[in-house]
Every structure is written in C-alpha cells, then in structure tokens.
Structure 1
C-alpha cells in the first residue's frame, strides 16, 4: 500500500475524498481497546458503585465529546492537521508551547497502551516482556507510516469486529455475580462523582489535538453538522460502552484491574488466537493514532526552523525516532499502573482544556472558520511568530488551575477546602475562553481575512 505523501501541508481539493460517516468507525474503533476498558475501572477505584459510575461515565463522555467533535468539524474546512492550525492562535513559533505538552500526552498514552498490551500477552507469548514491547512498537510504526487511508480502513475493520467481541463480553459481564446495591443510587459521593465525570471529559478531550487530522481529507463541501455528529456518536458510544464494561468487570471479576487485558480474554474463554488477534489489534490501532499525531506535532515544531520536505524517507525517519523513544519509555515498568493511569489522565486535563478553549473560541467565535491558510505556514504572515496573548492566557491558566488540582501527587488548597473536589477543568475551560475572546476582540482586523489556499 502506498505511503501517504502529505504531512502538515494543506490538502488540495483534487485530493479530497470520502464521506463523513467514516468518522464514526474511526472514533468508535479508537475507543474499542483495553485501555478504554481500564479507564472504566477508575470510577470504581474512586469508591463509586455501578449506578453512579455509569452515570458519571455517560455525563462526562457526552460533555467532553462536544469539544472533541467541534475540533473534528474544522478538518474539511481548513484541510490541515489540528495542531498546526494552532499557529493561527499562538503564532507560528508560539504554537510550539502547547505542542510540547501535547507531545507528552502522546507519549503517555503510547506507554499506557503498550504496557497493557504487553501485560495481556505475557503468559502466552514465547518472548520476554521487553521483546513483546518492541514488537508492538514495530507494528505501530508500519501502520502509522502508511498513513491516513490505511488508518481509516484499519479502524473500520476494528469497529466491526469490536461490536461482536465486546458485545459478547458485555453479555457475559451482565451474568457475573456482584454485591447488592450496585445498581441503586445509594452511597453517593460528590467528590468521587465529579472526579469520575472529569475522567470521562478528559478522555474525550484527549483526542482533540489530532481529531481534525482524520477529517482533513474530506471535501470542503462536506456538511459540518455531519462531521460533528458522526465523530460525536462514534466516540461517545465507543468510549462509554468500553468504560461501562470496565466498571462492570471491576465489580464482577476479582482482581480485574491487576491485568485488564488478560482478565478480559479469560472472561471470553481465553485462547492465544483471541489474545493476539484482538487485544493486540485494538492496542495497535489506538497507538497508531498516538504515533501519527506525534509525527504531525514533531514536524509542526521543526518546520518553522527548516523548510522541510516530508518525503516517505523523511517520514519514516521521524516516525522511527519517535517510536523508538516511546518504546524505550515503555520498558520503565510501572509498579502501580492504575494509579499512574489516573494521575496521567488528570495531568492531561490541566493542559488540554486551556488549549481547546482557546482554539474553539478562536475558530467559532472570533474568526468563524475564516483563516488564511498560507499564512499559517509563514512566520511573517498575519498570525505572526508569537501571539503573546494566547501564550500568556494559556500559561497563566495552568498556574491558576494549580490551587484547584486534586491528585494523589498533589492537592491544591481550594481542592482541599472542597474535600478533594477537582474543579481545575472548569477553571481551565472558562478563564481562557473569556480572557482570550476579550483580549483578541481588539484585533478583529486580523480576523476578516478571506480563506486562501
């Protein structure tokens, strides 16, 4: 299959193709993996019963997916990857600031996904854990190298298979014995409920930095409404289903969180073929997203300093270095994966939410989708080298979030006063949205430029 020849550059109309319904399979498939199932264990670990766990998962997923799908809708209109579009808000060089944080998120998810996959196959694989991790990295590298078209096909197959496999697992989970009172509204904890909602919101927002990467090849005439709803429904249905399944299994299977992948396979009857064929397929699929997004972000960082032509060889070189670095991090074993995963999700929210607020306010409220695409690639264009308003609002918001943070590593004074309720995500959404809109409204002359390609 031919390697994709585009990277961060604009997709011309004559290369556009596809239908928005393909995005349902992309984002359903992105959630159909054991990492999402593991995320569903987290509300149970916070002390919620199944009733409140499921409710928090649904509420958080539906809220977070609004922002995620709003980013997806930008793809056909602009025809460029998500993070390079941030240059219109932060400046050509200023966009490197949020990109550095996004790179940490890609690496964190790559490590989490690979550790879970290696954990799942440990008893069936003839190789050591380190070799399994390397083999997983090689497969991710090859799929991500081929690029956009192959990833779409990969996700569609995964989605269709997942419906059957996870449907079977769900039926089995409903038959498991659980302690009384799990499906009643008793034992409510506001702190745990809000924390669980935050987890689901952040889970959906974690796709925001690269969601438009998978809609940018759609024709410009594509319905924005359809792009939004196919992305929204795919990620809400896929994400909620997997998380609810994880919550039910955490209650029904003793020690489920100790090895999510292996216990899930065991529930369905075990078998080496199922373990390698489906569990690994799902983990590879989501890690391809992280590797592909990390490649886009790296090129976006490097491109202003060097007029880089991304040939297939250059593409392979970048991806190989990124994949090698991420795979190397995976060999650093985690003694408490669940706690690491919980802290990582909260860590993501503190940086992702201010960025998403600035990006969406700029696109929908200020510029109303009208950008000069050529200037996004030009340091001396209308978006400038650094937009200090955006950079300052982003960094100041992160500082303002600190008193509201609540994790096992650090709890801020406001969160302590609220008995552990983490409201940092609310601060991270409202403050940058209002501050950026108010300050940038003074410069509306830069907003009225027509779209140029």
Structure 2
C-alpha cells in the first residue's frame, strides 16, 4: 500500500493533515461513525439548504406536496451519497482517487476536473449568499468581507480533516439549536403574524422538479463524501458507515428543507430574504444568529474547498506520479482555488444566479454518471476488491485510460440531454414532462452499461 505521509497520530490531538490524497495506513486510522452523522447533519443545516426547500412552494405546490417531494428526493439522493461514504474506511483514500480504478489513472482527470470546477463555483455561490450577513455583522465593505471569509476558509481547510470534523460536531449542536429556535419563534402565537402567499396545490411538473432538487442536493455530496470517512478503521462495517452518513444527511436536509417550505408557505417576507429576515426574528439577539449563519456557511465553504483541492491534487498527481502533495503545494492550490471563487463572487455581485446558476446545474449532471459508474464498479463489478497501489501506477492494472468507461461516461451525458431543463436548453422529454429529470437516466444507464461490459472484460 502507498503511504501518504504522517497523518493524525492520536485521537486526542489535532495536527495539520499531511496525507492529502495518499493512502491512510491502518495504524493511523481513528474515529467513530458518529463523526459522520454530525458532519453531514450540520452540513445540511444551512441557509442554502433552507432556500432549496422553498423552491417547490414558490413553484406552486402546497406545503404538504412540497414536503412529500422533498422527502422522496432526499431519500433517493442520500441512498447514493451514503453508498459512496462506505468506500472511505475500506479503501483509505479520497473519493475521486478511487475513480482511477474505473477511468484509468489519467482518464480519471476528466471527472476530477468536473469536481474542481463544480466546487469552485459552489464556493463562489457560498460567498455571494453570505456576503450580506458578513457586511452587516462586521461593518465592513463587501470586498473586505469576502476576503476575510476566504482567508478563514483556507486556514481551516489547510489544517484539514480533524478540524473539519470537530467543527462539524460543534455546528451540529449550534445550527440545530438555531433552526429549532427559528421554528419555535414562528410557532409562537402573535410573535410573527403569518403572511401566507398564494394557496398552493398539486402541480405535477413542480412536484417532479422538487424531487429533482432534493435528489440533486444530496447527490452533489457524492464526489467528496468518502474524503470524510477515509480515516475511520477499515474494520468498520459498510452498514455502520452507510447509516451514520445517511441518517445525518437525510435528517439534516429534510428537516431544514421542510422548514424552508413552511416559511415559504406561511411567512413570505422572510422567505424572500432568509439571511436577513431570520436574524430580525430575534431582535437584539440577531447578531448571534448572523454569526451562526456565517459559521454554517464557513463550514460549507471549507468542505467544498477541501475537496476541490483533493480533486485538483488528484489531477496533478496522476500526471506526475506523486502519491503525496507537499504543504507548500497544498497551500498554493487552496489559495488559487479560493481566489478564483472569490473573484467570481465579486465580479458577479447581484447577478450570480443568472450567470452561474445554470452552469452549476450542468456541472451536477456531469457528476451524476460518474457516481453511477463508481458505485456500480464498487458494489457489483469488483465488490470492493481493489489494488490501491495500482491507483498510483501509470503502468498498473488500471492503466492510463479506460477507453470503454470514458465512452460510457460520454454516452450517459448525451442521454441526459433530452431530459435536461436549464436556462439555455430544454430537452424534448423535459418539455413533455414539464420538469428536469436528467439525473434519472444519468444514474441508471451508465450503471447498467458499465456493469455488463466490465463484468465480461474481467471474466475474459
């Protein structure tokens, strides 16, 4: 097995992570699956997740139908996302490095680059969302606020895995209390007079679209979920890893999104600007709420930057045959990625959704076929049996490029197109259905094709 350097030497201590993309030796494994619950539960207790829950109501659904669609969508997305998480303890490497077994050591650069671009754009989106809270809380200009947010993100991400998990524990409690307090205040009679919007009903297109939104939200975590489980002992069962991740994700996302749907249905002024409206619910205590919102967004930003760095390091290491990334290179990569994200946020101030909203959606659909291929390989084709050392060897058993997998990946993207509905494209099937369900064929078709073809190749 390749070694990646010295990681965390003790459960009780916290040091700067140095393993980067390398294999984590068994003697340096530590932790408990409850860490997976807290990090994914807290990750979903955010203003962004709350806003996603509002979209179905805004599209014309009643609260009940919106809540049902969100439950279905989150359950589907969580199923696939948690299945990726279970790979971490077994293999001891980052999620996207494992893709070399399917795409080839160099061929994996294609989905890796999609991950880098997607998560850099998500960091830009996070900056746009949190900007008003930062300027209000600290009394500084937008550029200074975003620069400070970027610096804090790099510091935490550079320290790495253990600090990220510890923040997850704290934020699971803090954000949980915050959203519970929001619900309690809104339920208090006469405290906040309800201001409902138009009466919603069942709208098939909106119902399907809301399922897609919930599914896509959870699927987005797939390319980096195993990054946060890879230090756990390999003796940990797949079931324990799966359920700790699944329960944290499903409960966090569903509770937050349903709260968002309720706010959209009953408290329209708050729904139109939750980042500003929620702190106002708490009067003089609003500054504490703003800080908690900022802390939650910082956690989101750190995790996306950390995994964008992992993916970019994976691209570089494939071409340079490195199993480790030095501290200086790590810092440079993180600074470069967060600088690009911050520059995008500044350049598109007030117009980010129009300029980059569709691009983010498209990038998600580039990741869905990867998820299908990766899971099909792990659970059905190779059944978890891999040579981790060969994933770092250009001349190893996985080769430089797996042309068959790359062709399946490209075909899956083409198959998704008729079902996609974004600002600049509406496929015929999406037009007929009235909603975007490109993720469904994007999961099913490549998984079936890859399983059939690869099983025959391995049996030959």
Question: How high is the TM-score relative to the length of structure 2?
Answer: 0.91
* CA RMSD, 1 decimal: 2.0
Q: Which whole-Å CA distance do the structure 2 matches of 1:355 and 1:404 have between them? A: 18
CA contact (8 A) 2:279 2:287 kept: no
Within a 5 Å distance, the mapping from 1:73-92 to structure 2 comes to: 73-92=86-105
CA contact (8 A) 2:348 2:355 kept: no
Q: Structure 1: where are the runs of 5+ without partners?
A: 447-453
Indicate the residue corresponding to 2:5 in structure 1. none
Indicate the residue corresponding to 2:367 in structure 1. 352
Indicate the residue corresponding to 1:119 in structure 2. 132
Within a 5 Å distance, the mapping from 1:432-451 to structure 2 comes to: 432-445=446-459
Indicate the residue corresponding to 2:400 in structure 1. 385
Shift of 1:255: 3.6
Q: Which whole-Å CA distance do the structure 2 matches of 1:123 and 1:152 have between them? A: 28
Divergent runs of 4+, >4 A: 336-342
CA contact (8 A) 2:116 2:311 kept: yes
Indicate the residue corresponding to 2:417 in structure 1. 402
Find 1:65's aligned residue among 78, 89, 92. 78
Q: Which whole-Å CA distance do the structure 1 matches of 2:255 and 2:20 have between them? A: 33
Q: Which whole-Å CA distance do the structure 2 matches of 1:395 and 1:253 have between them? A: 44
Q: Which whole-Å CA distance do the structure 2 matches of 1:336 and 1:128 have between them? A: 18
Within a 5 Å distance, the mapping from 1:423-434 to structure 2 comes to: 423-434=437-448
Q: Secondary structure at the match of 1:47?
A: coil
Within a 5 Å distance, the mapping from 1:273-422 to structure 2 comes to: 273-308=287-322, 309-335=324-350, 343=358, 346-418=361-433, 420-422=434-436
Does 1:50 pair with 2:60? no
Shift of 1:178: 4.8
Q: Structure 2: where are the runs of 5+ without partners?
A: 1-13
Shift of 1:407: 2.3
Shift of 1:349: 3.6
Shift of 1:333: 2.6
What whole-Å deviation, never above 9, does each CA across 1:97-138 have from its counterpart, x for those lacking one? Answer: 111211122012111211111122333432111111111111
Shift of 1:277: 2.4
1:11/1:409 CA distance change after superposition, 3 Å: same
Does 1:260 pair with 2:285? no
Q: Secondary structure at the match of 1:123?
A: helix
CA contact (8 A) 2:57 2:66 kept: yes
Indicate the residue corresponding to 1:449 in structure 2. none
Q: Secondary structure at the match of 2:422?
A: coil
Indicate the residue corresponding to 2:176 in structure 1. 163
Shift of 1:348: 3.9
Does 1:14 pair with 2:31? no
1:196/1:113 CA distance change after superposition, 3 Å: same
Question: How high is the TM-score relative to the length of structure 1?
Answer: 0.93
Q: Which whole-Å CA distance do the structure 2 matches of 1:45 and 1:130 have between them? A: 31
Farther-moved stretch of structure 1 (341-350 vs 248-257): 341-350
> Would you say how many aligned residue pairs link Structure 1 and Structure 2?
442
Shift of 1:220: 0.6
1:254/1:188 CA distance change after superposition, 3 Å: closer
Farther-moved stretch of structure 1 (392-401 vs 308-317): 308-317
What whole-Å deviation, never above 9, does each CA across 1:178-222 have from its counterpart, x for those lacking one? Answer: 54996xxx7211111000000000100110000001110001101
Does 1:190 pair with 2:204? yes
